[in-house]
Amino acid sequence: MLQLPKAKNWWKGAVIYQVYPRSFQDTTGDGTGDLRGITQRLDYIARLGADAVWISPFFRSPMKDFGYDVSDYLDIDPTFGTLADFDALIARAHELGLKIMIDLVLSHTSDQHPWFVESRASRDNPRADWYVWADPKPDGTAPNNWLSIFGGSGWHWDARREQYYLHNFLTSQPDLNFHNPEVQQALLDVAHFWLERGVDGFRLDTINFYTHDAALRDNPPLPPEERNDQTAPKVNPYNHQRHVYDKSRPENLVFLEKLRAVMEPYGAAAVGEIGDSQRGLELLGEYTSGDKLMHMSYAFEFLSGSDLSAARVADVFEQLAEKAPNGWPCWAFSNHDVVRHATRWGLSEPAVNAYVTVMMCLRGSVCIYQGEELGLHEADVPYEALQDPYGIEFWPEFKGRDGCRTPMVWEAHSNTNAGFTTGVPWLPISHEHLHCAVSEQDKQIGSVLNHYRWAIALRHKHPALQTGSQQLQVDGDVLTITRQQDDDRVTLRINLSNEEAGGLGPWHFELNEA
């Protein structure tokens, strides 16, 4: 496919719009979104002002974890369409000036992937060492104490080989063995395949999970006072360990250099997801410093439950300056794995507007998750309608991720399934979301949607807001952000509270565009 020339640093300061394809737009009436639906709605994303679109996985998959369990990296799951549909999506996106970033899940595959089917067949086949296999301890128990994010042991017994295999997530998601050079090359070939097909970059799922400690040493315990729920819900024993051996290994950097080298001729960029609540910003610095590793990464500092107060913003950037002075962050408030931030932080519409104004003025790149530009709150999905295995496992203390994955609301009519599908939607559409529909907000001057458009346009207007220097000042609930690049200077003074502060009304701001 013809490759269009790209500005070398197009990603720096970019606004990336995340599409969860199952829930964006259905064109077939089967109740599940698809690639043609995304293509149909690209004009909407372009009008919003995004620079790029990150599409969550659409590869062939048994859908045990809704696409994050890949059974074929080089084909489209029929649920979402065909390779021809993807090519059409790329072509239309490029016509509109949009970049396309696809979600590569490299740390693990589905247990139905041909690689794993062959690997588990015997201990001496050509792919026997492509996954992380280990003998049991003398008493038959797992090789070590590593845990799965989805609950329980990170090891699963396989009767065919009479060995355990590692799975950091579901038992149906076995971990690839990155200590095997053939595995690394196979995954680099996957990246090359999609780059040749025209993609402009990747979102790299669980980027710090790629390599493991080859000696399989036990993780040490984590004291209760140091535990938090940024990576896993608080009811999950995963939080009881210091994860120094099962992930975030230094050997990871060697593979990331190889991946960057594959991407470089295409002008492509990558944003890595760092799932590590203990060393998130430190790893961000390690993975994005210089020009040989990844371009940008996001940790979970703004994806956690902590209120995004003025002091909190300043504290995160102080930590960033200390732990990752040469790294490049990509900030997100919401995504497909966490409670929507309007609910998580208990935000009114004015507050949602205030926070996106802050986001568009912060140094780094940013990700917006579909529906947040409508001010959507977390949907209440009843237990009997749950699809997410994570929520089913930990219900009711943790209700899973379905509440942030319900279908996009395009029209304010329940009898049309909000314009999402003509069939039965795969997750129920929240009636509370209908009044927030695009059709309603599009024509309202003061709507959340139109404020998002304004805030993104502000970022594009000023080079200072994309790549300039940054100074932060905190005065109680008032945050002042000053950005400057050459003669372009922007100062935002904003009240991040629901009471008057510093001469500003609740959630009000002053903007000085010098």
Q: Which residues are catalytic?
A: 205, 273
To the nearest 10 degrees (0 to 180), the angle between helices 181-196 and 252-263 is 30
Closest CA to 170 of 211, 111, 129: 111
Amino acid, res. 220: P
From CA 118, how far away is CA 161, in angstroms rounded? 11
Cα three-residue angle 22-25-31, rounded to 5 degrees? 60
Q: How far apart are CA 345 and CA 339, in angstroms?
A: 10
Q: Are 197 and 86 in contact (CB under 8 A)?
A: yes
Per-residue CA distances from 133 to 109, 169, 174, 234, 251 (Å): 14, 15, 10, 29, 18
DSSP 156-198: EEETTTTEEEE-SS-TTSPBB-TTSHHHHHHHHHHHHHHHHTT
Q: How many angstroms separate the CA atoms of 224 and 232, rounded?
A: 14
Tokens coding 18:
């995340």
Best CA proximity match to 314, nearest among 116, 86, 478, 113: 478
DSSP state of 238: G
Alpha-carbon torsion, ordered 351, 354, 360, 366, to 10 deg: -10
Alpha-carbon gap, residue 400 to 390, rounded angstroms: 5
